[in-house]
């Protein structure tokens, strides 16, 4: 029986593959293609000697490929020069409807075929597939794994970045691995002519599209202070001039409110920065924000605020209303009530 609550990560997958213990089928959870591509490269290297070898390497989509077609693909070889085959199937949710048939197929697939079957995490949880199948989670890294991964990606681009600047980058870039890598590449390209590619907060702000006085944190500061006029001014800049995604901005605001609520009854004056992380999972610029605006928590009606945030989140994702109008309405309500 598979573990229902925890999943081994991509890095656990790497350790197992590098140990030489290859499995015929890998069930994975994936939101984007980043770690799927990395896993494919690693397996191709192990199976054929080179990650660039595309002989007998196939990428398909589960909603376009029946189990019968997958079986045929597994058992028929198109290359006479490479014995091993790697098949990657994305969006396998359709196979979950025929779970017994899928599991039977994976037991009888050709022994020279290795497969990666990628599922959506929410679907797996909802259908309780994790109770009968062991998945690797390519959609999530722990905080430490994520920070180590970000720093490694910066270093791979020849960039130096300190922990405080890395915290800011993490705050401003949503945790989608493909997106994070693209943003890191933008930073590296921006610093291309520098002898030492040192990443600073100013570089992060510039490439994230923010001016120093027009950031999500500055917006939140205006909101907490009930400064409706300036809050709407900053919001207008972020949404209309920098085209910031409304759902992302709502996530930033929600997280900052959660930070304030977490320390509402805490004497934070005696806390060190490391205490904020170890006790409340607050880091980077969020620590400075909490320190500066902790005094405003007594006047905040968190129940009302989170009801409005949840209501707006649902409307952003399900209604046909203009997202910008919804957001301006939200900010007006929580700064004037």
How much is the mean pLDDT over the chain? Answer: 86
- Taking 70 as the threshold, does the pLDDT of residue 208 lie above it? no
In degrees, rounded to 5, the angle at the alpha carbon of residue 290 between the alpha carbons of residues 169 and 230 is: 80
Which of residues 313 and 172 earns the better pLDDT score? 313
Report yes or no: 128 and 148 within 8 Å, Cβ to Cβ: no
In degrees, rounded to 5, the angle at the alpha carbon of residue 305 between the alpha carbons of residues 299 and 311 is: 170
What's the average model confidence in pLDDT over 140-157? Answer: 91
- Is the pTM above the cut of 0.85? no
Confidence at residue 19, expressed as pLDDT on a 0 to 100 scale: 93
Gap between the Cα atoms of 72 and 307, Å rounded: 52
Confidence at residue 212, expressed as pLDDT on a 0 to 100 scale: 54
pLDDT one-digit tens code per residue, 73-111: 887 765 556 678 899 999 999 999 899 999 988 888 788
Tokens describing residue 84: 């091993």
Ordered domains of the chain (ranges, CATH): 10-137 (3.40.50.300), 143-207 (1.10.8.60), 216-336 (1.20.272.10)
Cβ-count burial 161-200 (b if 16+ within 10 Å, e if not): beeebbbbbbbbbeeebeebbebbeebbeebeeeeebebe
Q: How many CA atoms lie within 13 A of 186 on its CB side?
A: 15
pLDDT one-digit tens code per residue, 287-334: 888 888 888 888 788 999 999 999 998 888 888 889 899 999 999 999
Helix axes 67-75, 99-108, angle to 10 degrees: 0
- Taking 90 as the threshold, does the pLDDT of residue 336 lie above it? no
Q: Which of 128-142, 194-208, 225-239, 290-304 has the lowest mean pLDDT?
A: 194-208
- Taking 90 as the threshold, does the pLDDT of residue 272 lie above it? no
Gap between the Cα atoms of 244 and 140, Å rounded: 24
- Taking 80 as the threshold, does the pLDDT of residue 243 lie above it? no
Report yes or no: 57 and 44 within 8 Å, Cβ to Cβ: yes
**Cβ-based neighbours of 274, under 8 Å, separated by 6 or more:** none
What's the average model confidence in pLDDT over 265-286? Answer: 81
Concatenating the DSSP letter of every residue in 235-284 gives HHIIIIIS---HHHHHHHHHHHHHHHHHTTTS-GGG--HHHHHHHH---T
- Taking 60 as the threshold, does the pLDDT of residue 5 lie above it? no
Burial of 250 (0-12, 13-18, 19+ CB in 10 A): buried
What's the average model confidence in pLDDT over 115-137? Answer: 92
The DSSP output letter for 211 is B
Confidence at residue 1, expressed as pLDDT on a 0 to 100 scale: 34
Q: Residue 211 — pLDDT band, cuts 50, 70, 90?
A: low
What's the average model confidence in pLDDT over 282-289? Answer: 80
Report yes or no: 193 and 262 within 8 Å, Cβ to Cβ: no
Q: Which percentage of the chain shows pLDDT scores above 70?
A: 95
């Amino acid at each position: 029986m598979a573990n229902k609550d925890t999943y081994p990560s991509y890095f656990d997958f790497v350790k197992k593959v590098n140990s030489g213990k290859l499995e015929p089928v890998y069930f994975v959870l994936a939101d984007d293609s980043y770690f799927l591509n990395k896993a494919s490269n690693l397996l191709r290297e192990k199976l054929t000697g080179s990650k660039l070898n595309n002989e007998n390497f196939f990428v398909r989509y589960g909603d376009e490929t029946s189990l019968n077609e997958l079986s045929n693909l597994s058992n028929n070889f198109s290359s006479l020069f490479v014995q091993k085959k790697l098949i990657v199937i994305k969006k396998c949710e359709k196979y979950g409807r025929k779970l017994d048939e899928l599991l039977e197929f994976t037991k009888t697939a050709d022994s020279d075929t290795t497969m990666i079957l990628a599922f959506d995490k929410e679907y797996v949880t909802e259908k309780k597939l994790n109770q009968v199948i062991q998945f690797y989670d390519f959609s999530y890294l722990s905080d430490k794994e994520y920070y180590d991964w970000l720093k490694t990606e910066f270093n791979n681009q020849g960039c130096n970045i300190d922990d405080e600047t890395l915290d800011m980058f993490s705050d401003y870039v949503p945790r989608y691995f493909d997106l994070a890598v693209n943003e890191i590449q933008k930073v590296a390209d921006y610093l291309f002519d520098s002898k030492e590619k040192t990443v600073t907060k100013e570089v992060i702000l510039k490439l994230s599209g923010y001016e120093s006085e027009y950031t999500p944190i500055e917006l939140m500061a205006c909101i907490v202070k009930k400064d409706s006029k300036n809050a709407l001014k900053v919001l207008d800049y972020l949404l209309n001039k920098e085209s910031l995604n409304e759902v992302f901005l709502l996530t930033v605001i929600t997280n900052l409110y959660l930070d304030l609520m977490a320390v509402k009854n805490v004497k934070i004056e005696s806390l060190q920065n490391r205490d904020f992380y170890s006790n409340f999972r607050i880091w980077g610029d969020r620590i400075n924000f909490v320190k500066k605006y902790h005094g405003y928590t007594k006047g905040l009606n968190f129940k009302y605020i989170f009801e409005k945030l949840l209501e707006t989140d649902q409307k952003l994702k399900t209604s046909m209303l203009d997202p910008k109008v919804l957001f301006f309405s939200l900010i007006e309500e929580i700064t004037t009530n």
